[in-house]
Structure 1
Amino acid sequence: MSHSDPLFSPLALGPLTLRNRIVMPPMTRSRAAQPGDLATALMASYYGQRASAGLIVSEGTQIGPLAKGYAWTPGIYTQAQVAAWRQVTEAVHAQGGIIFAQLWHVGRVTHPDNIGGAQPVSASALQADGVKVFVDNGSQAPGFVQTALPRALSVAEIAQVVEEYRQAARNALTAGFDGIELHGANGYLINQFLDSGSNRRSDAYGGSLENRLRFLKEVVQAVSDEIGPERVGVRLAPLTTLNGTVDANPEETYTAAARLLGELGVVYLHIAEADWDDAPEMRLAFKQALRQAYPGVLIYAGKYDAQRARAALDAGWADMVGFGRPFIANPDLVARIRAELPWASHDAATLFGGGAKGFTDYPLADGKPA
Structure 2
Amino acid sequence: MSEPLSLAITTGEPAGIGPDITIGALLQLAATEGGLRFHVLGDARLMRARAEALGVAHAWERLQAEGKVVAQDIALAVASEPGRLDARNGCYVLALLDAAMDGCRADGGPARYAGMVTAPVQKSTINDAGIPFTGHTEYLAERSGTARVVMMLAGPQPAHGNAMLRVALATTHLPLRAVPDALDVPMLLETLRIIDADLRHRFGLARPRILVTGLNPHAGESGHLGREEIDVIVPALQRAVDAGIDARGPYPADTLFQPRHLGEADCVLAMYHDQGLAPLKYGTFGHGVNITLGLPFIRTSVDHGTALDLAASGRAEHGSMIESIRCAAEMAGHASGRHRRAGA
Smaller-chain TM-score range? 0.3 to 0.5
User: What TM-score, normalized to structure 1?
Assistant: 0.31
- Quick check: which has more Rg, 1 or 2? 2
Higher relative contact order (CA 8 A, sep 6+): 2
User: What TM-score, normalized to structure 2?
Assistant: 0.33
Q: Which has the higher helix share?
A: 2
